[in-house]
Amino acid sequence: MPKKLSNVLTPLAVKNAKPGRHADGGGLHLLVKESGARSWVYRFMLNGRSRDVGLGAAGSGGISLADARDARDALRLKVKAGIDPLVERQREASDALAAAQAALVTGMTFKTVAETHISANEGSWRNDKHRQQWKNTLTTYVYPVIGELPVAEVGTAHVLKILEPIWKDKAETASRVRGRIETILDAAKARGYREGENPARWRGHLAQILPTRSRLTRGHHKAMPYDAIPAFVGALHNREAVAALALEFTILTAARTGEVIAAKWREVDLEKAVWSIPANRMKAGKEHRVPLSARAVDILKSTQGLRKEWLFPAIKGGKMSGMAMTMLLRRMKLDVTVHGFRSGFRDWCAECTGYAHEVAEMALAHTIENRVERAYRRGDLFDKRRRLMDDWATYCSSGGAAGDNVTPIRKSEAG
């Protein structure tokens, strides 16, 4: 029977060993690579299987021969007790990772995750207003309740505590807040900060607790009846404020407030009477060409002399405030909204003209809901929309009467 090796290596032998495996006895081996790198390995047998477990680097700056032998002896005792050193090491590494992850999760608050999510995604959002709304709604409604709470601990009770006080009276805001909480919690789960179902999920969860928005009293944009708009436009002509020109332009183009106050001269071709709103400022995320009536062009020519970047600049520079036109309506003692004029335009299209439904919808830059129709309709009906906007401008300057343009429209555009 061959004699078992025992303490064969010496410190000098370790230093001068050539590439290969060198046994010291008791399962301890010195591995030397062609590069000269050296390491210690303990080979053991357990359950009829031979396995190697690394002990660390050898040589200068590494584990000494004496320490390697001590480590081997400690592992031999574990093997005799039936403990697999490799399995034990993997379990310890897993436990350490879990402990580190737990510490990370404990310190990861909802607010931290939310701010990280906003920072990572705000560059792809439509506009500054959308970014600010995210921050404002979270700051106002969410952070006071769960901002400093570990994101892993956010549950249904927390979400309801945020939503229930505003669900009926501020339905639109509450819906957006819920959606933003859901998005942030999904992001937290994707990053490994929480597990389980999303407590802000609507379908199959909060829908069973909160009343649907269709059962709530929803706020509508108060609109001026379309037959009162011509007289109102006439009243605007008696006001010299830039806000009055901006409001009339908004009415004539059936545009949204944000689209008008952020409009710049580079978007307008007065010669062709076209205003091209870039996709990043449109609700649908698609460029929208607006045909300008003669009166709309005249309004823009009157503001060219202001020599500003914006079509309708503020008195002190920069773009006009989003409240400027609203405040004008209040000064005129009218209980309507700027956005409501779009409803007036849509009602006029339906009641007083024969223009096809999709022409009016495209004039309002609405997305066609029918997917099949949307897929086949590649154009933007620009020529038809130009005739529509010209007729709308004529109506708005009619002093209240529909005028002689109604019948011809029905004849030429019907069907």
**DSSP conformation letters of 223-285:** ---GGGHHHHHHHHTT--SHHHHHHHHHHHHT--HHHHHT-BGGGEETTTTEEEE-GGGSTTS
Residue 310: C-alpha distances to residues 237, 247, 273, 410 (Å): 21, 15, 17, 37
> Residue 386: its pLDDT value, please?
94
- pLDDT score recorded for residue 216: 44
DSSP state of 301: H
Q: What is the rounded distance in angstroms from the CA atom of residue 293 to the CA atom of residue 316?
A: 29
Strand 288-291's sheet: what is its strand order?
268-269, 274-277, 288-291
Q: What is the CATH number of domain 226-413?
A: 1.10.443.10
Q: How many residues does the chain have?
A: 415
Concatenating the DSSP letter of every residue in 333-379 gives: T----STHHHHHHHHHHHHH----HHHHHHHTTPPPS-HHHHHH--S
Does CATH place domain 110-215 in 1.10.150.130? Answer: yes
Of 174, 196, 176, which is closest to residue 186 (Cα–Cα)? 196
For residues 391 and 348, give the distance between their C-alpha atoms in angstroms, rounded to a whole number: 11
Digit-by-digit pLDDT tens for the chain (415 residues) are 445 667 788 888 888 889 999 888 888 999 999 988 889 999 888 888 888 888 888 877 888 888 889 888 888 888 888 888 888 888 877 776 766 665 565 668 899 889 888 888 877 766 677 778 888 899 999 999 999 898 888 999 999 999 999 888 888 888 889 999 999 999 888 888 888 899 999 888 998 898 875 544 444 568 889 899 999 999 999 888 899 999 999 999 999 988 999 999 999 999 999 999 998 888 777 889 999 999 999 999 988 877 778 899 887 777 888 888 989 999 999 888 898 899 999 999 988 988 888 888 899 888 655 554 444 455 678 899 999 999 999 999 987 433 333 322 233 333 2
The domains of the chain are located at: 11-104, 110-215, 226-413
CATH architecture entry for 11-104: 2-Layer Sandwich (3.30)
pLDDT confidence of residue 285: 78
Consecutive H or E run containing 49: strand 49-57
pLDDT at 404: 37
Q: At what angle do helices 229-236 and 242-253 cross, to 10 degrees?
A: 150
SS3 category, 54: strand
Looking at the DSSP bridge assignments, the partners of residue 45 are 50
Decide: residue 287, CB within 10 A, 0-12 exposed, 13-18 middle, 19+ buried.
Answer: middle
Cα atoms in the 13 Å half-sphere on the side-chain side of 153 = 13
The pLDDT of residue 215: 45
What pLDDT is attached to residue 300?
Answer: 92
Q: Is 366 exposed, middle or buried (0-12, 13-18, 19+ CB in 10 A)?
A: middle
DSSP assigned state of 115: H
Specify the DSSP class assigned to residue 5.
P
What's the maximum distance between 2 C-alpha atoms anywhere in the chain? 120
**pTM tops 0.75:** no
